[in-house]
Amino acid sequence: LRIVAMFFIILHHISVHGNWGNGGVFFPDQLSMNTFFLQSILPLGKIGVDIFVLISGYFLIVSSRSTWPKLFMLWAEMLFYSFIISAVFTLFNGVEFNTRQIFSIFTPFISSTWWFATTYLLMLVASPFVNKMLYACDEKSHLKLIVGLVFLWTILPAVTNIHVQFNDLLWFLTLYIIAAYIRLYPKHFDRGAFTYILIAVVVYGILLSIVYVVDVTGHVLEFWNVQNLIDHNNEMNGPFALVISVCLLLAFRKLNLGIHRFINLLAATTFGIYLIHDHPLVRQWVYSDFFNCFEYTFSNDMVLYVLFMACSIFLFCSIVEMIRMLIVDSMFLKKISRYLESFQTKIDSKI
């Protein structure tokens, strides 16, 4: 499921950052099948983000292990790619950095070089305390909390376009709480994988139908705010992204694929794939200069080209991350992370 989610995210980034010459994804100068295809893959990225957070909540709610080693490994990975990518573009592309940008290179976490990574680490910091809160709740209280959060940050914006004190971290914690409920009370989610996949496909089809209606009529209807409707439907807290991502989590729970070392290895590289391909320098170069998306805007081969791009980005970044894991993680970081749990025990005793 992590592999699927990362593929979704790459497709989303291609749609958003591809420098397509269509005058904007949702209000294009010229409607075409290519335009509609770009619009159809746009929501996949936010679905992928929700899936990653749901997976984390599903496992962390029953985990008794310290989060410090995982936090350290992810932070070190962010620092590694921030420095390496900046160095490569300095050496081979002649990119120059001012003092503020140099500071950002060595502080990717607090500089939010990657918004998802920063928010995800903050969620990990909060997760042990969220777990204590949720275990103190009974099932009814847990469900009431979910209903309140979803109403506040999914339903209300969808109906009124009002966002009440919303931010990425609050949404990640909402997804965490939803996934924790699924893990703690599985008796409510015993349908087969096919049922959940079918629901996800139907909901995604409804979303695409709305996009198509907006394409055809959105420019002339003045009694609704088309832009706000589309924006929220494509956000990670939108009702479509939430339903689809939860259904996919429930579906994959029911799939018994066995244990496959290659799948596990590939899944382990997904965070690195994200850090590499969505670094601001790489993002600007890969879509405009390397793949030259602009020239394929109205090409009959655009759909195949986008899929080729997504597969190429996934495989190349995955190989790079495997090499980093083999050299950096195995030789250095894992040895350091072993001492963090004992260090945390000492800090806890001091507190």
**For the chain, what is the HEC assignment?**
CHHHHHHHHHHHHHHHHCCCCCCCCCCCCCCCHHHHHHHHHCCHHHHHHHHHHHHHHHHHCCCCCCCHHHHHHHHHHHHHHHHHHHHHHHHHHCCCCCHHHHHHHHCHHHHCCCHHHHHHHHHHHHHHHHHHHHHCCCHHHHHHHHHHHHHHHHHHHHHHCCCCCCCHHHHHHHHHHHHHHHHHCHHHCCCCHHHHHHHHHHHHHHHHHHHHHHHHHCCCCCCCCHHHHHHHHCCCCCHHHHHHHHHHHHHHHHCCCCCCHHHHHHHHCHHHHHHHHCCHHHHHHHHHHHCCHHHHCCCCCHHHHHHHHHHHHHHHHHHHHHHHHHHHHHHHHHHHHHHHHHHHHHHHHHC
pLDDT digits (tens, 9 = 90+) for 258-279: 888 999 999 999 999 999 999 9
Residues with Cβ < 8 Å from 95, sequence gap 6 or more? 86, 89, 281
Q: By C-alpha distance, which of 215, 172, 171 is closest to 25? A: 215
Q: By C-alpha distance, which of 329, 221, 227 is closest to 272? A: 329
Supply the pLDDT for residue 212: 80
Tell me how long the chain is: 351
Supply the pLDDT for residue 78: 93
pLDDT digits (tens, 9 = 90+) for 222-259: 545 556 666 667 789 999 999 999 999 999 999 888 88
Q: By C-alpha distance, which of 170, 167, 165, 164 is closest to 130? A: 170
Supply the pLDDT for residue 96: 83
Q: What CA–CA distance (Å, rounded) separates 151 from 158? A: 10
Which residue has better confidence, 198 or 73?
A: 198
Pick from 16-25, 140-149, 275-284: least confident: 16-25
Contact (CB, 8 A) for 43 and 231: no
Supply the pLDDT for residue 337: 66
pLDDT digits (tens, 9 = 90+) for 296-346: 888 889 999 999 999 999 999 999 999 999 888 777 766 676 677 777 778
Residue 194 is which amino acid? F
Is pLDDT of 29 > 80?
Answer: no
Percent of the chain past pLDDT 90, that is, above it, reads 56
What's the rounded mean pLDDT across residues 176-185? 98
Which residue has better confidence, 139 or 162?
A: 139
Q: By C-alpha distance, which of 344, 347, 288, 268 is closest to 72? A: 344
Supply the pLDDT for residue 235: 85
Tokens, residue 215: 């394409």
Q: What pTM value is reported for the model?
A: 0.91
pLDDT digits (tens, 9 = 90+) for 114-158: 999 999 999 999 999 999 999 999 999 999 999 999 999 999 888
Q: What CA–CA distance (Å, rounded) separates 282 from 18? A: 12
Q: What CA–CA distance (Å, rounded) separates 6 from 330? A: 24
pLDDT digits (tens, 9 = 90+) for 204-227: 999 888 888 777 776 555 545 556
